[in-house]
Amino acid sequence: MSESPSLPRPTEPRPQDFGSTATRYFAATRPAFLTITLVGCLIGFATAHRAGVPFDLPGALLTMLLALLVHAGANVVNDACDADNGSDDANRTRLYPFTGGSRMIQNGVLDRNETARLGQWLLLIVIPAGIWLAWRSGSGLLAIGAAGLLVAWAYSAPPLRLMSRGLGELAIVAAWLLVAVGADYVQRGHFDVLPAVAGLSFAMLVGALLYINQFPDRSADGSAGKRTLVVRLGPENARWGYLLLVLAAYGWLILQVGRGALPQACAAAAFTIVLSLPAGRALLAHADAPEQLRPAIRQTVLAAHVHGLVLAATIAFGRGGEWFPR
């Protein structure tokens, strides 16, 4: 599978590319990849709408803002931590912009301390706004928010460093499931099973994105002591993990549609398997050749986004799926 000539490779950031500190800070959050969090919010809004909850636009906007800030903060903290452990400096097989970090530190756009402070502030400013939103929506949101902040920090930062312990995929699935559950909670004002049932297939596809991104970074991660699943298993064994993860995601979706937990129309989201399976085949063929994986990563990004969007639309407006109590 070769790179299409119609898709030029983005160039890494350089100091001369930015005219102000604000634009440098914005770029450090990797804004192009924050859209996946908006999709997770839409799933939560859709499950609340399905329950007949009147749509709370101010609550929805604040939910999206806070979720984006947490995701952005996690991205920036990850860059600072990977600068500390040396994995991004050592990464010669990265596929920018998908793997190897934002390159803001390595290319001299920001220094390590600036990056760390930015990540910390992005996460800290979520706390007062989140407390106000919990006061407005319900105290259960405090638990969701605390769990989300913990995962955002612990994914990269010591002492937990979940990704370095082979727990990165689990953390990512949990994080994006929390996005859907939290968005639903703000609208509904209490917990419900539907956002967890609905959001799991989407969250697993986001986890698959992290997983495939580990292959180009494997050598650098291993040299830096980051014991990701791909480092632990080696490419020959780890390459099968992607297919297991995406098949589990689609299997979960079809199971929930089949048992009536989700509207029948939600089965349409399973058609994104036409993106996931070719990506899996490419990984099976090129697990040891990172430069060949860029199209597969693009397909994985697209699969997660489209899957989530179709899921949100069909949950909100599809028929059926009413077995669970309200």
Q: What one-letter code names the amino acid at 149?
A: L
Q: How far apart are CA 81 and CA 153, in angstroms?
A: 10
pLDDT of residue 321: 54
Q: pTM to 2 decimals? A: 0.94
pLDDT of residue 176: 98
* Contact assessment for residue 70 and residue 43, using Cβ atoms and an 8 Å cutoff: no
* Best CA proximity match to 85, nearest among 215, 233, 221: 221
Tens of pLDDT, residue by residue over 44-83, are 999 999 999 999 999 999 999 999 999 999 999 999 999 9
Q: How far apart are CA 204 and CA 177, in angstroms?
A: 9
| One-letter-per-residue 3-state SS of 133-148 | HHHHHCCHHHHHHHHH
Q: How far apart are CA 315 and CA 264, in angstroms?
A: 9
Core vs surface per residue 76-92: b (16+ CB within 10 A) or e? bbbbbbbbebebbebbe
Q: DSSP strand E in the chain: where?
A: none
Domains of the chain by start residue, with CATH: 20-317 (1.10.600)
Q: How far apart are CA 73 and CA 175, in angstroms?
A: 13
pLDDT of residue 325: 42
* Contact assessment for residue 283 and residue 293, using Cβ atoms and an 8 Å cutoff: yes
How far does Cα 142 stand from its chain's mean position? Answer: 21
Residue with tokens 């499950």: 47
Res. 5: pLDDT tops 50:
no
